[in-house]
Amino acid sequence: MFELLAGIDVSLLLFGAFALLLFIGVPIAYALGAATLIVLYTKGMPGVLMPQTAYNATNSFPLMAVPFFVLAGYLMQFGGLSRRLIAFAEVLIGNVSGGLACVTILACVFFAAISGSGPATVAAIGAIMIPAMIQRGYSPGFAGAVASTGGTIGIMIPPSTPMIFYGVAGNVSITDMFMAGILPGLMVSGALIAVSWWLSRQSGYGGTGQTLSAARFMSALKGATLALLAPVIILGGIYGGVFTPTEASVVAVAYALVVGGLVYRELGWDDIYRALLHAVVVCGTVTIIVGLAGGFGRVLTTYQIPQAIGAGLLEITDSWIVLLILIGLTLIVIGTFMETLATIIILTPILLPVVTQLGVDPVHFGILLIITSEISFLTPPLGANLFVAMRISGASLEQVTMAVLPFIVALIVMTGLLIVLPQISTFVPTLLG
């Protein structure tokens, strides 16, 4: 069989096998590995390259930050930090139209600065806010849509797990990526809060009925101070050069253990075990994808496939704006069926050299990858955030999907804004040198 395939072009064989395997239902990680092995054996390359490359791909110091940030997020969720963040957000904006919906988005912003994960943010905030919204008369579909949309902020506000993978795959400074995500993350958050407010007003969803007062504000601030300090310590240490992003992830875990276990006294041994179990499951899956994608990337670089794809794209247009729009639309489509981290790991080595030829800043392109990944969290059939919110709200996939459409439109508009105004992404890194 391998003799019959030997005459097929490498790029056609690699991507064709990968697409076929995905079509028949093979998980992405195994499809990557199988497609790579087919090319290796067909072209007479030693099969030992696969395990060697997989090991080298995962043997990375920056990647160590991922399991620690994920673990820190779960520890803070089980240790009571997310509940205090919600209470603080509710005091700030809970009394506006659709106050609980707006509170959900704002609480996701706070928690995103700790967890770095989209589905984890949905689970941590949605577990509290979705039942509260339904109890106040919000439809289950809308409550699930708000929580799943707010969870997408988890990968834009630093620290962000996809940003770490992009930095490793594209040899881009992870600290620069974290800084670049601050302004776009706040803008996207503001847009999502505005959409929540407008939709709630149209549906007649009121606020909490509790006006903002100095006493309530100070009480909520006192309760949430340690939770709010977590991102300040983590990100301040990174930007101040006190520790690297990887070291910051360990600091985040230690902080969560101390605050949740010793200060709030809500983090018991059973909670620590649950947090470790969740983190192992999430990061074990990611590690398999990263390792097997390393072999896939090795084949790409060996046969100079990225250069060939880049030449083809540059024949279509030499305008960086047009090229980024085409890439953005493609990424949104790909995100409907391919997991976010796999998309970043596979496409970064292919697309980054192309856009940099046209003068696009690698950090700006990374932010574009992140915001299109936000959209992919909300688009079925993959839509990871939708399924987490469905499980909590009890709504059907159709109900949550229909309710989330206005939020997807807002994210697409923000994507277009980020494409034509790269200064939004590069402003903070440039300002901080």
Q: Name the residue among 35, 90, 82, 36 with its Cα closest to residue 298.
A: 36
Average of pLDDT values for 209-233? 81
- DSSP letters, 27-89, are -HHHHHHHHHHHHHHHTT--TTHHHHHHHHHH--TGGGHHHHHHHHHHHHHHTTHHHHHHHHH
Q: Return d(Cα 5, Cα 131) in angstroms, integer.
A: 55
Considering the chain, what is the average pLDDT of its residues? 83
The predicted pLDDT at position 4 comes to 45
The predicted pLDDT at position 416 comes to 92
Q: Return d(Cα 237, Cα 244) in angstroms, integer.
A: 8
Instruction: Select the more confidently predicted residue: 245 or 1.
Output: 245
The predicted pLDDT at position 287 comes to 79
- DSSP letters, 173-201, are -HHHHHHHTHHHHHHHHHHHHHHHHHHHH
Could you read off the pLDDT of 46-104 as tens digits, one per residue? 777 888 888 887 777 777 877 888 888 788 878 888 788 888 888 887 777 777 888 88
Could you read off the pLDDT of 4-54 as tens digits, one per residue? 444 467 778 888 888 888 788 888 778 888 888 888 888 777 777 888 888
Instruction: Select the more confidently predicted residue: 272 or 231.
Output: 272
Q: Does residue 158 carry a pLDDT above 90? A: no
160 φ, ψ (degrees, to nearest 5): -125, 125
Residue 56 amino acid letter: N
Average of pLDDT values for 268-283? 86
The predicted pLDDT at position 209 comes to 67
List all residues 6 or more positions away from 66 whose beta carbon is below 8 Å from its beta carbon: 161, 164, 165, 249, 283, 286
Average of pLDDT values for 246-260? 88
Could you read off the pLDDT of 405-426 as tens digits, one per residue? 999 999 999 999 999 999 999 9
Q: Does residue 161 carry a pLDDT above 90? A: no
User: Ramachandran region of residue 80, left (φ > 0), alpha (ψ -120 to 50) or beta?
Assistant: left
The predicted pLDDT at position 228 comes to 83
The predicted pLDDT at position 408 comes to 92
Could you read off the pLDDT of 349-385 as tens digits, one per residue? 888 988 888 889 999 999 999 998 888 888 876 677 7
Local confidence band at 3 (pLDDT 50, 70, 90 cut-offs): very low
